[in-house]
A and B are shown apart, each in its own frame.
Chain A
């Protein structure tokens, strides 16, 4: 049976853990608000860009040069998978679900005979894939800190991806990231980044055509499209980074909230145990005194 002092120490240590987790929860909550604002502020730009792109997508006839970002290379052999995780832990299943999902995706693509390369974003996925499939990593991005550096960080990733794409290193690029659904729930999502997934923008195009007349293009459609496509890649990455950042804060907040509650419960049960033990100790001493007095 643990001594009174042992229990006391345990209560104290759980108490300080509780303090830390509740502080982390509050920090995450305020960061979450900021990340959410950022994600919302970025929305008008990306939605506008998508609209423009969808109204232009039909004019992409040839598959040469930059237009390849839209039409694809014509092959379907080499894939690049970009898991987007956080740089830090203590946020519940946030990172592990990304890693698990990516791992599953890679395995299933490989069993179909595709060649996979990885480009992890964030320390947690880099470390994970460094352990399990090191030779497939071609590049990794860590310490992006998207909420303070902003668009620049997305630009770096996008430039690297496009460089590799035009060197013919891969045919398809898939992002795996946590989509921010609400403060307490994130959804692991896969998004095909290159070539651009037109299946959902086609629907938009119809809507566009029915409501809007035809635009004049300056200088011409193709030039605009050539400017627009690389930007779209960057902005999609930026959007994903912001979503993932907001999701991370949300996940951390939820995880820390749980941890705080668990610590509270643990303290309660430990206190109960402490009091019981103390009572038992007192009772024992009393019995000893009484039986001692009786024997005189």
Chain B
């Protein structure tokens, strides 16, 4: 089976770079599953999980991104994300606390942060896509 090269880039560094089987990215209008040979797409992302699978459909890694862009062509998929964390390293209690604090604040900025934090919490709680 074919593989597709996947780069996950944050402003600070190159987080992930390898040949993989499948990637799922949280596109703005809905999740995109990317297999080798995907047509050329450029999409912006919403906060959510970027899931990386090996050729035999085993989950290798899942990242949380707070938004960004994906550029996809048949051989390569590049995700530019503003902040990247591995889902496993997220802590539920600290995020819940953050949400509580942000809910009391007002303003556009904290609203944005709140939606990112809520998406983070969701990323920990849900487990669909764990097996595909």
- Interface residues of chain A, those whose CB is within 8 Å of chain B, are 38, 41-42, 44-46, 48-49, 52, 55-56, 150-151, 154, 212-219, 223-224, 227-228, 231, 234-235, 238
Contact = CB atoms under 8 A, between A and B. Distances in A.
Contacts of B11: 42, 45-46, 150-151, 154, 234-235, 238
Given A42-B12, A45-B10, A238-B11, A216 B44 contact: no
Contact of B43 (A44, A214, A217, A235): A217
A218 B78 contact: no
B39 interface: yes
Contacts, number: 77
B40 A215 contact: yes
Given A48-B80, A52-B69, A219-B29, A41 B12 contact: yes
A150 B83 CA distance: 11
B42 A215 contact: yes
Name B's interface SS. strand
B13 interface: yes
Nearest to B67: A227
B98 interface: no
Interface in B14-50: 14, 27-29, 32, 39-44
Given A215-B40, A219-B29, 20 more contacts: A42-B11, A45-B9, A45-B10, A45-B11, A48-B71, A49-B80, A55-B42, A56-B42, A151-B10, A215-B42, A216-B39, A216-B40, A217-B41, A218-B29, A224-B42, A224-B43, A227-B67, A227-B69, A235-B11, A238-B11
B116 to A, nearest CB: 13
A216 B75 CA distance: 16
A234 B83 CA distance: 13
Nearest to B9: A45
Contact of B80 (A41, A45, A151, A218): A45
A213 B13 contact: no
26 contacts: A42-B11, A42-B12, A44-B7, A44-B14, A45-B9, A45-B11, A46-B11, A48-B9, A52-B42, A52-B71, A150-B12, A154-B11, A212-B40, A213-B40, A215-B41, A216-B40, A218-B27, A218-B29, A218-B44, A219-B29, A219-B43, A223-B28, A227-B69, A231-B82, A234-B11, A238-B11
